[in-house]
Structure formats: C-alpha cells, structure tokens
Amino acid sequence: MSQTASAETSFWSPIAETQKTQEFPYFAVALKGEELRAYLRAAPQEGAADGLQLTLPMPDRRFIAVEAFDSPVMAPELAEKFPNIRTYKVHGVDMPTLSGRIDYTDAGFKAFLTMDGRSVLIEPESRFSDRKTDDRYRVFFKQDLPYIPKPIEPEGALIPEQAGSNIERHEETASPGFFSRMWRSIQSWF
C-alpha cells in the first residue's frame, strides 16, 4: 500500500489555452510548487517496498497515479551543499508501463517519463516563452516538439589524429555525428 495524502491531487490544475496559440500540442497546467516540494520530501528511498503516491499530468489531459522514490544522483557532499536539488524515480500505479525520473530544483519541476514507447516531458513554461511565472508548466510528448535544426558538423571534428593530438581515440567522440548527438541530448530538455 502506498503512502497518500488527502490533498495530493490539488498540486496540479489545468489551464485553459486555445490550440491556436500553441506552437506544438501540449497540456498547460499550474503547479502549487512549494506544496509539492514539501510533499516530495516524504518520499522513501529508492528500494523501499512502497513509494509516495503522486499524480502527474499527461499530454492527453489525464492525471496518472505514480509512486515516487527519493533517488539521489549527486554525491552526498554535493547533495548537502545543494539541498534544493532533489531527484525521484517514479513508476506508474494505474499504468504499469509508465516509468521515469522527476526532479525539483530552484529552476522548477521537471519530468522525463516513458510510457508505451513514448516519451513524456513536463517542463516549466519559462523554457518556451518570456512569461515570468513559476507556476505554469507544459506537458507534452517529446515527438511533438517542433523540428529543431541540427548544427552543421565540421569535417573531421573531434578526431584526435587529424588534430595532431596524442589523445587516445574514443569511438563516441571520434565518430561522425557526435555534435549532432550532443545537440539532440541538450535540446531534449529545452
């Protein structure tokens, strides 16, 4: 049995936005951030039998129940220095195929989830516009993001032999497309 809170479902609320104003399809939601941050502090450590019950919004405007487990990714010394950076592992309760990570930092809440072979992201509105609001978020399928052109990769980029370096050649950094893969990785969170 998971831990629950009676007011838990009130962290998220839908925001009405017309489809005409959207660059790509997403579900706009408002978040009571400080309340969620305080609630998440009660999440048990990863490996516990039961997680902290939480609902997350989905791009199709549903709210899905998940269990959250505290899952630190920083060394203990860094975690102590930056206590506002918290990472959690989640898995679906209603939907067993859903899993992923959520984090809460001073930059806000973020989620990267996978379900049924699709990636779902929850990102602060500030990533997409000049609106200065801490409580608005976009929930969307990663594949719905508009096309972002890749940078042009220079011929022979990052191949140590051509640069006259004695550094050992590494397959990932030496193979064509490294800049493109790095660019896609960086863009996936913006």
Per-residue pLDDT of the chain (190 residues; tens, 9 = 90+): 344 433 355 799 999 876 555 678 899 999 998 899 999 999 999 999 999 999 999 999 999 999 999 999 889 999 899 888 899 999 999 899 999 999 988 888 999 999 988 999 999 988 877 766 778 999 999 988 876 665 565 565 554 444 444 444 444 444 445 555 555 665 555 5
Considering the domain architecture, whether residues 154 and 139 belong to the same structural domain is answered as: no
Considering the domain architecture, whether residues 68 and 108 belong to the same structural domain is answered as: yes
Q: What is the pLDDT of residue 185?
A: 60
Q: Which domain holds residue 67?
A: 8-144
Contact present, 34 and 45 (Cβ < 8 Å): no
Considering the domain architecture, whether residues 59 and 100 belong to the same structural domain is answered as: yes
Residue 16: alpha-carbon gap to chain centroid? 23
DSSP 94: S
Considering the domain architecture, whether residues 103 and 159 belong to the same structural domain is answered as: no
How far is the C-alpha of 171 from the C-alpha of 175, rounded, in Å?
6
Considering the domain architecture, whether residues 101 and 157 belong to the same structural domain is answered as: no
Long-range contacts of the stretch 182-186 (C-beta < 8 A, 24+) = 183/150, 183/151, 184/150
Answer whether residue 3 is part of any domain. Answer: no
- Closest C-alpha to 4, from 58, 46, 61, 42: 42
Contact present, 181 and 160 (Cβ < 8 Å): no
- Domain count within the chain: 2
Q: What is the pLDDT of residue 24?
A: 84
Considering the domain architecture, whether residues 129 and 163 belong to the same structural domain is answered as: no
